[in-house]
Amino acid sequence: MVSAKAAMVDIGDKRDVTRIAKAVGQIRLRRETIDRVLENRVEKGDVLTNAKLAAISAIKKTPEIILLAHPIPILAANVNFNVDRERSLIWVEVEVKSVAKTGVEMEALTGVATALLSIFDLCKQYEKDEKGEYPTAEISGIKVIQKIKEE
């Protein structure tokens, strides 16, 4: 039998410092779907604006989603997209800044994942094949690419 335990790490003795984290991820879609996104022809709305707002909301709610993450003040959150039509990819990059006792990596990762899931949700009707499956759509490469702790 495996026992499980959970505990929030005590950060009480740490001091507040500026912390920045940047994370990235990508979604592969059909080229026709990418064209719809670029031409703002997706029925559900402006894909990139919706994904950006979803990411920012998720960043702010990270402690509600990742249960052992500490609630920290978010001073800035930037969400950027790079659409690579030739490779049928949309890259998402999220940068989060705080002055806190702990880092903002989880917030940046949560923002990226949520932006990508939002893009999938808004575009999935164009990705279905004749069986109703999604053979092309793929979310991948979610990772932290930068972590800064300014002493």
Q: Please calculate the CA angle 78-83-89 and round it to the nearest 5 degrees.
A: 115
Q: Give per-residue burial for 121-137: e unless 16+ CB within 10 Å, then b.
A: ebbeebbeeeeeeeebb
Return the DSSP state at 128: -
- Output the six-digit token pair for 47: 């894909």
Of the listed 10, 84, 121, 129, which one is catalytic? Answer: 121
Is-catalytic flag, 16?
no
Say if residues 51 and 119 touch (Cβ distance below 8 Å).
yes
* Residue positions annotated with a catalytic role: 121
